[in-house]
Structure 1
Amino acid sequence: MHDLIVSPFLDGFLAVRPGSPACVRLPTDLYEEVRAGADNTVPAWLVQTAADAWSLDLDGKAARSALLVREPTELAFARASWEINLYCNFGCKHCYLGERPLAGLSWDDKVKLIDIFRDSGVLWLQITGGEPTVDPDFEGAYRYAYRQGMMLTVSTNASRLWKPDLLRLFRDCPPYRVVVSMYGATEESFDELTQRKGAWKNFRKLMAAARNAALPLRVSIVVTDDNAHEVDAMKAVVQGWGLDHHVYTNMQPTFSGEGDPLLVQSTEFLRKRPVFEGCNAGVTFFHADPHAKVSICKIGRDDQIDLMTEGIDGLRRLGEISDRLMLRTGGCTGCSLSGSCRVCRPLAKVYQEAKAPLGMYCQHGDTKEMVHP
């Protein structure tokens, strides 16, 4: 298995190591030298770079075995997220997915999709769900994507992280990051929010196993009415584990237009979003659902592209779709506060379809008006 990945990335080139957050930018001539030298030993300059950046000894190693060199691509996307399956073994009150059937691509089509990720330039791939590790093809898909030279992030509720097969997979094919959601600091709150009895006890056990396996963990602390009184306690637990964390407070409606997730928000901890200044959704990254329907991101799911039908050429349309979806339309045209809006147009549309109060997403939120689609 490769020690380093040498790859095009946006308008340049990177050397990265699976399981490590460190990366090294490479000039074009050095990338081309590595690309042309598959039959040689690792060049001296890269041996030194690997030693400095990762304490990795590549001296005398054959480039063909130590390095995975990715070819340039015309599309040059950098990142993608993939809902491998919507099914989840939790029933969290704040979930924005709505219906969560156990359904997705066949194994052959999963391989085809991962090949499209690779050939479109995707270097960082986030595998999510639902709960991704319950998908019957998760281990095979993860291993296959790893072998194609992708830096993998898994977003999980961690309910299966204690399983020996999964820990062995992550040992053999180190993830870039494992992002774990935390739903409380006590059995009462954790089990209530996830609607699964025993979820808290299992969480404690599996986090011990994951930490013992030295996984690159990051914790997403989810704050709702059920656990808002435990925010400091949740932070203390995570800090005691020596892990990084992010506090997630603002929920969003489901994609089927239901506002139920908004009802469990803790108003005390709602975060004021910064002014939206644009993003590269559909330009340098994209999102794929369980059936390989691709959108600019997980929020802007209109005008999806069926990659199983169109193949990689379908991705060429994402930039134009992104430009169209980001326009201030559908109730926002001509708004005098659009220059200081705090959500993108696709997210505003999700709130509007759920008939959410303006104050949850709009600068005109001092009114009591409900916005209708």
Structure 2
Amino acid sequence: MIADITGIRRIRMLYLQLLYRCNFTCLHCFHGERLQYSDAFTAGEAVSLLTLMRDEYGTESVTLLGGEPFVYRELPQVVRHAKRELGLRVEICTNGYRIERHLAGIAPHLDLLRVSLEGVGSANDGIRKRGSYQSALSALSLARDLGVPAGATMTVTSQNIGEVLALASILGQLGVQQLKLHHLRPVGNAADHPELLVTDTTAYGRLREELAQTRLPLEVIVDEDLSEHGAPEVCAPSGGLREIDRIEADPRGALTMSCKAVGKDSHAFWYEKTANRIVHRPSATDEFTLPVPDVVYARV
């Protein structure tokens, strides 16, 4: 269906939100009130979507996230099937809170553990949850000991923009290979916390200069919106594009291609779980009709 409407025939990665439920209520979470929703994939539905994406769109990699994927009881089944039966590259994006026992069980089938952090110590805990910083470091330490490659993500806000270099240094000491920096988008919980927005856009330029001038122990990937003038206007996929990097499925089955459309209910395609098919449901505000600019990343 996606190929018929857009011409896109290959989608390299599926971001699969297994559930909305989370053990955190982060101030900047794009899910907002949906953290209380019960929508979720069953293991069978998740495997069916993964199989469909691999067979029809050549998908070779999956990132499992939520909500919090480690509170999803069927996570081991999904991880093992994705790796063993489908041959996919498997990544999990997590808050890293008390996941050690579960991580040890799936480590042989995991290609990357990516932990979300928002700074060092209290800077992180103030946005996420008390004790979450030390718990995240513990998870990253265990990943290193288990031989699981690790990365981290950070959403840049007014409260943590000065923490990037310090966090990168600490993560490097733990063997973390990559830090990915995101621009804060005012949707979900972030819409209720405008104080987190970086209103001085020149601060992004200073951050990028510091990153360029500092010898860091890990790779840093920067959302190009973290610049004084924002990212180039790269539009959502059109009929002339045959391949894209990613698509994201939320727990209801709604599919989104642009990072900037996530959390905005601008879905043009849906995965119907019971029928195991993707359908087109166009609207006046979907990401293709608008169209929604995508996010561009650059390596420092």
Tell me the TM-score normalised to structure 2 length: 0.71
Q: Judging by fraction of residues, say which structure has more strand.
A: 2
Letter in 1 for 2:192: D
Could you say which residue in structure 1 is the equivalent of 2:252?
291
Trace 1:180-329 onto structure 2 (pairs within 5 A).
Answer: 180-186=115-121, 188-194=122-128, 196-246=129-179, 248=181, 250-254=183-187, 259-267=191-199, 269-270=203-204, 271-272=226-227, 273-278=230-235, 280=237, 284=244, 285-300=246-261, 301-308=266-273, 311-312=276-277, 314=279, 323-326=288-291
Classify 1:325/1:151 alpha carbon distance in 2 versus 1 (closer, same or farther; 3 Å): farther
Letter in 1 for 2:45: D
Equivalent residue of 2:23, what SS?
Answer: coil
Classify 1:247/1:291 alpha carbon distance in 2 versus 1 (closer, same or farther; 3 Å): closer
Q: Distance in 2 between matches of 1:288 and 1:184?
A: 28
Could you say which residue in structure 1 is the equivalent of 2:76?
139
**What is the CA-CA distance between 1:123 and the residue it aligns to?**
0.9
Could you say which residue in structure 2 is the equivalent of 1:88?
22
Classify 1:109/1:267 alpha carbon distance in 2 versus 1 (closer, same or farther; 3 Å): same
> Larger radius of gyration, structure 1 or 2?
1
Q: Distance in 1 between matches of 2:81 and 2:23?
A: 24
1:149 paired residue among 70, 82, 87: 87
Could you say which residue in structure 2 is the equivalent of 1:64?
none
After superposition, give the CA deviation of every residue in 1:159-212 in whole Å (9 maximum; x if it has no partner).
Answer: 24422x4223122x132x2221122212x2222111x22222222322221111
Letter in 2 for 1:166: L
Contact 2:268–2:287, Cα closer than 8 Å, also in 1: no
Q: Distance in 2 between matches of 1:174 and 1:108?
A: 19
5+ residue gaps, structure 2: 1-7, 205-225, 296-300
**What is the CA-CA distance between 1:247 and the residue it aligns to?**
5.1
Q: Distance in 2 between matches of 1:315 and 1:125?
A: 22
Q: Distance in 2 between matches of 1:308 and 1:191?
A: 36
Verify: 1:114 aligned to 2:79, yes or no: no
Equivalent residue of 2:45, what SS?
Answer: helix
5+ residue gaps, structure 1: 1-73, 327-343, 348-373
Paired residues, number: 250
Letter in 2 for 1:106: T
Could you say which residue in structure 1 is the equivalent of 2:103?
166
**What is the CA-CA distance between 1:280 and the residue it aligns to?**
4.2
Percent identity, aligned pairs only, is 20
After superposition, give the CA deviation of every residue in 1:251-293 in whole Å (9 maximum; x if it has no partner).
Answer: 112259x722543134454422331234548953422111222
Q: Distance in 2 between matches of 1:309 and 1:80?
A: 19
**What is the CA-CA distance between 1:240 and the residue it aligns to?**
2.2
**What is the CA-CA distance between 1:316 and the residue it aligns to?**
11
Contact 1:113–1:307, Cα closer than 8 Å, also in 2: no
Letter in 2 for 1:91: T
Could you say which residue in structure 2 is the equivalent of 1:34?
none
Q: Distance in 2 between matches of 1:323 and 1:218?
A: 31
Contact 2:140–2:176, Cα closer than 8 Å, also in 1: no
Letter in 2 for 1:81: Y
Q: Which has the higher contact order (CA 8 A, sep 6+)?
A: 2
Q: Distance in 1 between matches of 2:49 and 2:237?
A: 21
Classify 1:112/1:233 alpha carbon distance in 2 versus 1 (closer, same or farther; 3 Å): same
Letter in 1 for 2:231: P
